[in-house]
Structure 1
Amino acid sequence: MPAGSNRKRERQYEHIKEGQEERGASTRRAKEIAARTVNKERARSGESRSASRTSTQDPKSAPQRGGERSGKGKGPQGPTRDQLYNEAKQKNIKGRSSMTKDQLAKALGR
């Protein structure tokens, strides 16, 4: 548990840690995620001595950002190949099984 925490933050830490472990994260990883989350919340609410600029000035929390800073591409990549394939199957497009994602999108007029 991060130093200088109060009961609310301790409960928050335990809740996040248990949730991560239920999702299959290792105990070590669950503790790290919980500590980082609690520390960020402490910084946002002015409970910590120092805080990074992203902790205090970021307009949205991580779940609200939806991976904007995760480094996984530049935004949504659209439907998956399987989704496009199923749509092509419904429209009875020939040769769909050997098409790539881009080819399926083009055949569907996207």
Structure 2
Amino acid sequence: MPRGDKDKYTEKQKRKAEHIEESYEHKGVSKDEAESRAWATVNKQSGGGEKKGGSGKHTPANEKKTARSDSARRAAKTREGHARTSGSSLQSQTKESLMKEARSKNIKGRSSMSKAQLIEALQKHG
């Protein structure tokens, strides 16, 4: 029999290992090898015997929901601090991006403007 105490395994895991072992024996694998392969398969599929998950720290569902909404709120606050038409934001955009924004604001003469002219026009149209 392979090393290790099987007491920590659930009944379902034990049944699965037994079924797999029988299948291997039916194919002509020796009893010891079949048992070894069966438990290896169960361990690979379920991660071993029954045990507590993760770090042992359980976070209740309501705390997870609160943490997610707090994170979303912080992300939104970060985004609102940088208006798309602020000087520094416009400077960091590509000319192509500025052109799209100018198109959406229907700025006349945009196709012949330089990047600096696009920035100026977008700041005026706020």
Q: Structure 2 length normalisation: TM-score?
A: 0.33
Which structure has greater helix proportion? 2
Q: Structure 1 length normalisation: TM-score?
A: 0.38
Q: Looking at both structures, which has the greater relative contact order when contacts are Cα pairs under 8 Å and sequence separation is at least 6?
A: 2
